[in-house]
Structure 1
Amino acid sequence: MKTSIIAYCLKKQGAMKEYPFGPEILVLKVGGKIFALIFEEAEDEFRLNLKCDPVIAENLREQHEAVRPGYHMNKKHWNTVMVDGSLPLTDIFDMINHSYDLVVGKLPKSVRESLLEMK
């Protein structure tokens, strides 16, 4: 499942992967800004940090035991998703889309336009 999630993130326009915090934490960025962190523990059970609108973040935490306040992040704007099989992959992909869109929406106009040109 982790491989599918990483591949999905990397298909996002302008997405790049880095390991600035060491080999255990995969950081996915767009326009130099983080939209996802993957804590590389095990293939079938790991943590994924995603940016989230604060109201939606609270709702997701109430609805899903696997969604928690962001681990080592601003807990108002980030969620940690425990990828343990309890959430459908489509729900995780929706959360990734939301995180990516939030980050892209805050990028300078010139960077957003360059992302569109990549298509």
Structure 2
Amino acid sequence: MRPLLLLPMLILPLAGCDAFWGPFAAANVASLTTTGRAVPDLFVSAVTGKDCSIAHLDAGEKRYCRRDPLPPVEAVCTRSLGSVDCWDGPPPGMPPQRPLGDAPPVPAQPPEPWPLQSL
């Protein structure tokens, strides 16, 4: 009979756990809506230097952490004889060719007009 009386006394301190975890749950919700990661995910990502998120496992991936993808290489297009050539990196050849979107350099001084009286 005595253990049955102690059981409610043991459950009573557990009621305070909700108040303790409430701010952490609010921080997780705020973190998930702004960064897409929970607070523990942000901590693990900062320590490992990888992209760690529980959402990766939820999406069906096999890993909790994955490396950040490399930024895509920007294509460089140059003029060729009658066409345009595009390269994944710097175009080969010396001297280096000017990219297609570049304008010619602007002179420091405007050119002097042709004298009309010498005609």
TM-score range, shorter chain: under 0.3
More helix by share: 2
Bigger Rg over Cα: 2
Q: Which structure carries more relative contact order (alpha carbon 8 Å, separation 6+)?
A: 1
Higher share in strand: 1
